[in-house]
Amino acid sequence: MNARPDASSLPIRLADYRAPAWRVERVELDFELGIATTEIGAKLLLRRDPAQDESLRLDGENLELISIALDGEVLADDAYRLVDGGLEVHGARDGSVLETRVRVHPAANTALEGLYLSGPSETGFLLTQCEAQGFRHITFFPDRPDVQAIYTVTLRADRARFPVLLAGGNPDGSGELEDGRHWARFVDPHPKPAYLFALVAGRLEKIEQDYRTADGRDVQLKIWAEADAIDRCHYAMDALVRSMRWDEQAYGRNYDLDVFHVVATHDFNMGAMENKGLNIFNTKCLLADADSSTDDEYRRVEAVVAHEYFHNWSGNRVTCRDWFQLSLKEGFTVYREQCFSADMNSAPLKRIEDVGLLRRAQFPEDAGPLAHPVRPAEYREINNFYTATVYEKGAELVRMLAGKLGTAGFRRGTDLYFSRNDGRAAALEDFLAALGEANDVDLSPYLAWYGQSGTPRLKAHGHYDATRHEYTLTLSQHTPASLQQPRKQPLPIPVKLALFGSDGRMLPLHTDGQTDASEIVVVLDEAEQCFVFRDVPERPVPSLLRGLSAPAVLECDYTPAELALLLGHDPDGFNRWDAGQQLALRAYDALRDGAHNGAVNAWCDTLAALFDDARLDAALLADLLVPPGEIELAERESVVDPARIYTLRQQLQQRLAARIGADKLEARYRSLAAQSTAGIDAVSQANRSLKQRVLQLLALLDPTAACHHAATQYLDAPSMTDRLAALGVLARHDAARSVEPLVHYRKRYASDPLALDKWFALQAQLPGEGALARVQALEADPAFTLKNPNRARALLGTWANGNPSGFHRADGAGYRLYADRLLALDALNPQIAARLATAFNGWQRLEPHRREAAHAALASLAGHDQLSRNLAEIVGNMLK
Ligand code: PHE
Ligand code: ZN
């Protein structure tokens, strides 16, 4: 049973923000826990803003009110009123104490928001998810982040059924009750918003470790999971300890409670949640071991553990004034997490991964009907705004600011930001002000980035004056108009650049400001500007937007030879990769247009040469050998035919494979396979990454040979990465031969949900029109269920988002099936339904047949009157 708030309710606007008329200073919560029914007592110490004259209104949804009293007196029926979405109370004063008692039904809560059950009724455990507005499903409360209270939480439950009782804060007593029940109390001394409240109760195992903070606090770290998963939590513990040290060193931030709990659940809408002192993780982002996790998953666990931990300061100690400021905590925390991962692994590889995600997920979002600024101006359903724009573009904006201030300056700025805003609910302006003031610079022009949607296009044109040895670079910017913002302003765009000579060396730069650097940042803050470089000995090749110094698309009139020069010689791995991506786009265009082969040859020749370069890092080489993906390619087309894009991209890769040659690919595969280990050190990971890429390329030339290797690799694989890579090659190139290993895998991992998710996802990704039938067959697998978000995403999400040629069938049957499943999902879990629905993004640019069919599917969805507010908003925006 889900609440169906009126789907047509009015949008919430940033411009309408007002400070709360009522705050809660302290809250005491009392849980009488049960699977079917839980009763919650709440005692609120209220504070009234003397400047406002409004009666008390509390948020509350799906709550059965049992009793209500104000200042010790049971309230008469006319002293309060249950209204849509909440409760109004008359007669409350500053300092009043409101007591309520409510009933909720955790086992019936399929939306996984508020208090819910993870797993079967008999064995599962109870947990909460309150961000963004789940707390109102637990008790009546001003459920907004600028109301920060001190929490005392008492949990009572049957000891045998719920041996472990946890809530955020420090433990404050526990004991026995009659009838085999027990209790435990927790006090959190740090005032916090309701969205950071959490509890967990049930049968859980733990691993623990002691930690002493840099400022001398002894902390117990405890990771909790169900019995079958607890042995896979050690890597997360290791990552947690490294995160805590890193935050002390990089930001001077210490942990601030005596215990830090982390809990793993299979049933979670998102990746993880930073509840104060009690982080809760999707198992997908917490569990890792050699037998069942890929290298990517190890890195994700490390990153997400760090991300949630870092929120303790960027999000919890300094929280958000309102949900429009979401990127204040998310963009900043993603940036912190990216830097941590770069420090723990390889900085260029990390940047390649992050920019890849930005281009694949955020740029398309920012160019389509769901585009919104990093700080949106309005929303109907806040859960729809946990987007790539708020997270990833938000992180890029922080990166831009950090780049502008330099490492020491940025640290001065964040120190001031944390100290000045500690315990407060802040806005993005507070962040920019602190960073700016600590460095005596005015960062307010950068605020425009937060308010404007769309990806700026950066055009560059170079002119070399051979007699004066002067190079003039003309940069211009343009952001395409969007529905909400028909006129876009120029933004301050930091363009990091270098100039290369024809021998592939970087030239020293002489401008008015700086001399002799080989890399500088110029800021383009008008529609068009010229930058002049003196004493340039020859016509240079510019390398622009290095490191992706701003979240923009570069349009530069390079020749293929110039890009090949950068791909071959840039000393910085990321920039080399990026030059290769641009060259691959040229090559793709040439193939598509049947044009001259210059770009194709330049791309293939340069990569073939790098393939033989023993000095090149294997993991970087693996990345260099991958052209931009189908989604990125589609972004550049005005009329999109996903099947054609798939075919052309395959052809492009085939050309590359042929240029390197089957013999070399085969030899490299054998030598990499001979050196394979199960380790997760950088060298072993790099080996696996390149080995997989080489095998994929070989499969395009000689599928028989490649499948032969793959079959052996599947059987011998010492790691999940190798096992899945082998399965993927087999399933793509020899369907018949893949049947047996797929069945084998299915059996071997029958009781490992995360490994099964990978089995579903791998098959959902197989390209072409056959994907639909495959998805339908997989839906019939007894392990498939829409009730578990990971499972639904693994099959349906992977198909719709990660397999364009398989999802976008010419006959539209993919869209119809998908819309049908979205409806079914919406009845269970609106957040997941809405998120999956974003796979229709870009439908307006599909070729006419597909476009028509996608439109029909969306329109039929929109026609349903029982849609959740979540799904209704996404579908509505999609059709605008
Ligand atoms: N705040 C979480 C994070 O990014 C994400 C999240 C949002 C989780 C909403 C659950 C619900 O770390
Ligand atoms: Zn976050």
Residue 280 alpha carbon to ligand 1 centre in Å: 10
Which residue type, as a one-letter code, is found at position 852?
E
Instruction: Write the single-letter amino acid at 248.
Output: E
- Residue 25: HSE in the Cβ half-sphere, 13 Å Cα cutoff: 9
Query: Which residue minimizes the CA distance to atom 11 of ligand 1?
Result: 131
* Residue 132 CA to ligand 1 centre (angstroms): 8
**Average pLDDT score, the chain:** 97
* pLDDT of 9: 77
Cα–Cα distance for residue pair 484/464, rounded to 1 Å: 41
pLDDT at 24: 99
831, containing H or E segment: helix 830-837
Is residue 308 part of the annotated active site? The answer reads yes
Q: What is the pLDDT of residue 511?
A: 77
Q: What CA–CA distance (Å, rounded) separates 635 from 845?
A: 9
Closest C-alpha to 805, from 641, 584, 629 = 641
CA–CA distance, 240 with 209 (Å, rounded to integer): 10
Atom nearest to 391 CA in ligand 1: 4
In degrees, rounded to 5, the angle at the alpha carbon of residue 697 between the alpha carbons of residues 289 and 804 is 75
- Rounded to whole angstroms, the Cα distance separating 396 from 344 reads 20
Whose CA is closest to atom 5 on ligand 1? 273
CA of 319 to the centre of ligand 2 (A): 12
Q: Ligand nearest 193 Cα, by number? A: 1
Q: Which two tokens stand for residue 756?
A: 């099964």
Which of the ligands is closest to the CA of residue 269? 1
Burial 231-256 (b: 16+ CB within 10 A, else e): ebbebbbebbebbbebbeebbebbbb
Distance between CA atoms of residues 456 and 490, nearest Å: 9
Assess whether pLDDT exceeds 70 at residue 87.
Answer: yes
Q: Are strands 22-32 and 148-158 parallel, antiparallel or unpaired?
A: parallel
Whether pLDDT at 343 is above 90? yes
ipTM value:
0.99
Of 308, 562, 630, 666, the catalytic one is: 308
- pLDDT surpassing 60 at residue 228: yes
Residue range 124-153: mean pLDDT, rounded: 98
Question: What is the number of the ligand closest to the CA of 271?
Answer: 1
Structure confidence by residue, pLDDT tens digits, 672-707: 999 988 999 999 999 999 999 999 999 999 999 999
- The number of beta carbons lying within 10 Å of the beta carbon of residue 200 is 24
Order of strands, sheet of 205-212, starting from the edge strand that comes earlier in the sequence: 205-212, 218-225, 259-265, 278-282, 272-273
pLDDT at residue 510, as a whole number? 86
Among 113, 131, 307, 334, the mutation site with the greatest number of ligand 1 atoms within 8 A of its Cβ is: 131
Residues 642-671: tens digit of each pLDDT: 999 999 999 999 999 999 999 999 999 999
Those residues with Cβ within 8 angstroms of residue 200's Cβ, 6 or more apart along the chain or in another chain: 125, 126, 127, 128, 164, 165, 166, 167, 224, 261, 263, 278, 280
Pocket-testing residue among 273, 312, 323, 832, ligand 1, by greatest number of atoms within 8 A of Cβ: 273
Separation of alpha carbons 834 and 459, rounded Å: 36
Residue 200: predicted pLDDT: 99
273 C-alpha to center of ligand 1: Å?
5
- In the structure, which protein residues have their CB atom closer than 6 angstroms to any atom of ligand 1? 129, 131-132, 269-270, 272-274, 307-308, 311, 330, 386
- Cα distance between residue 821 and residue 848, in whole Å: 24
| Residue 564: closest CA among 599, 592, 539 | 599
State the pLDDT at residue 3.
43
Ligand 1 pocket mutation pick from 116, 386, 392 by most atoms within 8 angstroms of CB? 386
- Is residue 819 scored above 80 in pLDDT? yes
Take atom 9 of ligand 1 and give the residue whose Cα is closest: 131
DSSP reduced 3-state for 181? strand
Half-sphere exposure at residue 793, Cβ-oriented, CA atoms within 13 angstroms: 20
- The average pLDDT across 853-876 equals 97
- Ligand 1 centroid distance, CA of 112 (Å): 13
- Which strands make up the sheet holding 125-129, listed edge to edge? 114-118, 125-129, 199-202, 164-167
> Which residue is closest in CA terms to ligand 1's atom 3?
273
Q: What is the CA radius of gyration of the chain?
A: 28
Task: Return the SS3 of 191.
Answer: strand
| Residues 422-475 pLDDT 10s | 999 999 999 999 999 999 999 999 999 999 999 999 999 999 999 999 999 999
Take residue 642 and report the two structure tokens written for it: 């996903």
Residue given tokens 């201030």 in the structure block? 405
- 3 state SS of 501: coil
Nearest CA to ligand 1 atom 1: 273
H helices of 491-629, where?
560-569, 573-593, 598-611, 618-624
Q: Are 190 and 317 in contact (CB under 8 A)?
A: yes
Closest ligand 1 atom to residue 315 Cα is 1
CA–centroid distance, 439 to ligand 1, in Å, is 32
pLDDT band at 596 (very low <50, low <70, confident <90, very high): confident
Mean pLDDT of 161-181: 98
Residue nearest to atom 6 of ligand 1 (CA): 273
Nearest ligand, CA of residue 280? Answer: 1
Atom 8 in ligand 1: residue holding the nearest Cα: 273
Q: How far, in Å, CA of 556 to CA of 544, rounded?
A: 9
Distance (angstroms) between ligand 2 centre and the Cα of 33 equals 29
Helix H or strand E encompassing 48 = strand 38-48
Q: Which residues, 6 or more positions from 831, have their beta carbon under 8 angstroms from its beta carbon?
A: 111, 112, 113, 269, 383, 870
Alpha-carbon distance of 794 to 789, in angstroms, equals 8
Give 514's pLDDT tier (boundaries 50, 70, 90). Answer: low
Tell me what the mean pLDDT of segment 612-619 comes to: 96
- In angstroms, the CA 168 to CA 258 distance is 11
pLDDT tens per residue across span 146-159: 999 999 999 999 99
Q: Is residue 6's pLDDT more than 70?
A: no
